[in-house]
Structures are given as C-alpha cells and as structure tokens.
Structure 1
Amino acid sequence: MAEDLSGLRVRLAATLPDHVAAALAGYEDFTAAAPPADAKGFAAWHAAAKAALAHADLLIKLARWAEGSAEPDEDAGMERLLAGARAALDALDDGDEEE
C-alpha cells in the first residue's frame, strides 16, 4: 500500500501543476466575461465560478500532498490568485444583497 501511495505521489507531482494551471486559466477565462444581468443567469454564473474556484483549490491541496507538503507556501502566486478570486466573488455577493 505504501508503495502504491508513493507511486501515486510521484505521478501526481509530475502532472498536477499542469492541471492546476489549466483550471486557473479556465477560471480566468470564464470570469473575464460579464455575468448575465438577470438574477437566474447571474446565480448560475456565480455558482459555476465558485465551483471552478473550488476545483482549483482542491487541485492545489492535492499537489501539496503529492509534493509532501501540507503547509501552504505563502509566496505562491496561485494562492494570491485564489485569494483575489474569492474576494471578487465576495464583492459580487455583497452587490447582490444591496439590490
């Protein structure tokens, strides 16, 4: 079992950075477009953005595990990107409550 996990870590450590980059690029592409103006369309757009962000976050956590690191790297560019994306989504949520 330990050998299986070791092999999995090696394989994931080699492939996950590309998957993380692709997930973040997809998120950026998706959120670059303006959300729909209607409430139902906006809610669907917002849910999709949150799901994409959660996917990227999970991939980053898995990549850390694969590298043998459980602690976040405070200087990691992806962490800053995710934090900025979360803040942007929170700002959108705040704007909905005022209307």
Structure 2
Amino acid sequence: MSEDLGTIRAACRADLPSRIRAALDDYLRFVADDPPADAKGFAAWQAAAKAGLGHVEALVKLARWAEGEIQAEDDGDDGLGRLLAQARSALDELDEDGA
C-alpha cells in the first residue's frame, strides 16, 4: 500500500464528519415517513431503516478509529450516541408493534 496508516487516518478525519452528517440526515428523512401498513412493506421499511442506522454507526466507529479513540465500541455521552440509542429504541418499538 502506497499510503501509510497515519495518512489514511488523516484523510478519514477530514472526510468522515460530513459523510456522517449526510448519512444521518438521509436516515432521519427516511424514518420521518410513516412505515407501510402491510406486513411485507413494513418489514422491508424496517430492514432499510436498520441498515441506514447501521451505516451511520459504522461511520461513527470509523471516525473514532481515525481519531485514535481506544473505546470505539462505547457510544459515550455525546449527542450522536444518544441519537443512535433513541433510533435503536424506536426501531425496536416498531418491531414489537408490527410483529
């Protein structure tokens, strides 16, 4: 590989914040709409919402790695961590209601 790890981390630190914001905005727009009423549509909607949330979460973990944070698994007390926890909870409630 022509780039060293430090260069890759620096590129991630520069690029990831805007990508996280864009992914989070897309996720929030998607889940703002009511899910389909039929079971098949609801399942597809929920799977897409979970995938979107997973994408945001993966980007956050990558950003933490780029910053050199050791505890990449901990959501911490930051606003994004709380938002991710709330989104997970909302999806779990929808899953219980739709099942």
Q: State TM-score, norm by structure 1.
A: 0.91
Change (3 A) 1:73 1:43: closer
Q: Which runs of 5+ in 1 are unaligned?
A: none
2:67 maps to amino acid: E
Q: Deviations over 1:50-77 (max 9, x none)?
A: 0000000000000000000022462211
User: Take 2:34 and 2:16, find their aligned partners in 1: how far apart are those partners?
Assistant: 29
Match of 1:89 among 70, 88, 91: 91
In the other structure, the counterpart of 1:21 is 21
Range with bigger deviation, 37-46 or 64-73? 64-73
Q: Deviations over 1:16-51 (max 9, x none)?
A: 011111111110000000000011111110000000
User: Take 1:96 and 1:29, find their aligned partners in 2: how far apart are those partners?
Assistant: 21
User: Take 2:19 and 2:75, find their aligned partners in 1: how far apart are those partners?
Assistant: 18
User: Take 1:4 and 1:76, find their aligned partners in 2: how far apart are those partners?
Assistant: 30
- Report if aligned partners of 2:53, 2:84 keep a CA contact under 8 Å in 1: yes
Match of 2:79 among 77, 80, 91: 77
| Identity across matched positions, percent | 57
- Report if aligned partners of 2:39, 2:98 keep a CA contact under 8 Å in 1: no
User: Take 2:35 and 2:75, find their aligned partners in 1: how far apart are those partners?
Assistant: 32
Q: State TM-score, norm by structure 2.
A: 0.91
Comparing both structures, which one devotes a greater share of its residues to helix? 1
Q: CA RMSD in A?
A: 1.3
